[in-house]
Structure 1
Amino acid sequence: MGLARRRARTAAAVLAVGAAAVLAGCGADSGPPGGSEASTEPAATDSSAPPISTAADPAHAVAAPGPLDTRLYGDDLLVVSDDTLSAELIDQIEAIEVGRTKGVEAAEPLSYAQFTVENKLYNIAAVDPAGYRAFTGQDSAEWQEQWERIAGGEIAVRDTLRDRMPVDEDGFLEVGSGKTTYRIHVGAWSPAEVDVVDAMVNDRWGEELGMPEGNALLINTGLASPQDVREEIEKLEDLSVTALDIVAQSGIDPDTYQTVIPVGSFADAVGVFRYTPIGGGRVEPDPAWVASHIVTEQMPILGSMTCNKHMMPQLRAALLEIQQTGLADEINPDEYAGCYYPRFIAGSTTLSNHSYGLAIDINTPGNQRGTVGDLDRGVVAIFKKWGFAWGGDWSYTDPMHFELDHIVEPG
């Protein structure tokens, strides 16, 4: 997929969104956000613009894609950069040859970042529904309503996550991190086969979430070997290039570093987090990131703690207030399970906020997952006052766990 075609579709989307806004301004009833039905009838009267679905979220709607009109491609490589991929770099990637074989059969730009839900990290892609669908497998690509709902401002979540996502009773999911989250209606539980994408939104939502625009490229290598094409891409620039066939088999590609770009409150505290899987469920963060973000300090009650430097002032303040209010005995230092430990959640290839040093676990024996826990609620209240979220409030509780929710500057 050439960059020029992507730009042409984007321009058409702007025209169509404008038409939708006019309809909304004239009092057209698009129904409540999160309604169970999504109309596929054209809503725009400008014949030069693509049709608009009756959007669940008109403020975040883009042009509704027409019926599938392109061949389907496999998803072989995902290229991720810290920032927007330049048009020149995309042209270079699309021109790669391996021997006499064309290396890139098709490529689709997208925005790629991560959000956290209950201490688990998920990958989110902001996509052009018309172009991206061709890389997601036949069942997904041909499911027209899914792409119309994404275009209408809803989120599509991988169907294998249906039982893990805390969607509220109205069908909305909080997307972001910490205190900065956005409530987006789940329009589809998707059968999409791109293993490194857990959720899909459109480009307007990508902008709202603060995702880096066009920082990723999904590639089909055609007859060329994905491994050979990856080697050629890595010669061009310092990029994370993931072989998706390896991910499909083992859950992660161990031969490349991974890039995490959080959206929401954690964005400032984490920045760009690069890591390499090193076996045994462990990951090795970029040493420069560790040097600039992780510190060890003596803290009240718990003693020596190694955490993210952005969290330390309010963590100290919380523990000091717990001590000053006579609640120090409610925290057992011998049952403190750590703060910064860069590894996957046990039995998975999913990171937690402990990987960034933004969470602590205390009084572990009596506060296991799925229980109400026995932590003193006065201790909980003080942590919340100082900007921490408590795992005991989650849909599947984790009462030992506190994580950074928002920055609070001690006076």
Structure 2
Amino acid sequence: MRRSGGALSAVIAAGIVLTLAADVTVLARDRTAGGPRRPGNLVSVPEAPRTPSVAPLTRRYTPHLLVAGTSSLPPQAVERAKGLKGVAGVAVVDAARARVGGRRMGLLGVDPSGFRAFAPEPTAGSDQLWQTVASGGLAVSFEQGRDGALPLGAVVPAGRSADPARIRVGAYASMGIGDVDAVVSRAQARALGLPEGNGLVISAPKADTAALARRLRKILPRGTKVAALAAPKTTGRAPRKSPPRVTGRPDGASGDRSPITGNAMTPTMRTALLEIAGMFGPFPVIGCHRSTGDPQDHGDGRACDFMESTGGRAPSAGAQRHGDQVARYAVANARRLGISYVIWKQHIWNVRGGGWRPMEDRGSITQNHYDHVHISVLR
């Protein structure tokens, strides 16, 4: 979107003019070096990032035993465990104590479609929560989220201490399994370095738990731990039946992809788009290259608009929270992604410093950037 407009107040003008002057300098330098960018110089996103789908909840299981080994459990042993008398349901998981946001916690990598059946209500019934997990988000217990160290929507380091990955805190929820503080998708567990398929969550409502544990130890690899599950600890502030709290979602987002209009952009913009769409999508639409009107960075393929609502409508409260998270992420990772500036809610942030600064009123929700996060890159 445009970065300058009509008359500004003297106070606002000083900050905005400095920002624009710096941006024009960069643009002029880029054009001097290689000439104005044209669509033929740009690249496209052949396929927008897909958000995995999650199967609906059809039944629920009460978990009774947690199995955890030091390495992947042999498939034949898993099949034998499923066939033991009294076993009603089994979920294969990736289980580890892992560091998330600077603290160690019990973490499971799960298949959201299958594992949701082992979660307590209303966690099991929240389609949005499990879609968030399937999309790469982290669902943490209310207890872990209560002190503010893992705020909803924040992107935190997780996994290996030497080379941690980054993950978005997507939800607070009751886990329903003692010593399990958080869950991620199994794909995300791979990125975090968790052992693959080394655990089982078992429901056996009619079995003698101690006897079943002894039978499991006989068929599983030596050293595999089998523990009876106790109810998770609660403090009274977050009752076990509390509904999940999930990060916001753009209004009108549907399906498992973010449609892209003007699918032509610089390689730097494409890298930023893929990361942001993969972390926060799907969006109802992402608008990039255009040549009509006064496109500025859009005309050079150096900008995209990540829509939080469409049709010129004001975003809902949840979509606004989502936009806040997208804007914060873009700012926090600006230098790594080559982002030059971000516009959101009639404020502009520039990588050269100065923090968020207000912009003039341009007269509409879209022109004032209340329905989309505008992101421009340096080249």
- With the shorter chain as reference, the TM-score category is 0.3 to 0.5
Structure of greater Rg: 2
The TM-score normalised by the length of structure 1 is 0.43
Of structures 1 and 2, the one scoring higher in RCO (CA 8 A, sep 6+) is 2
The TM-score normalised by the length of structure 2 is 0.46
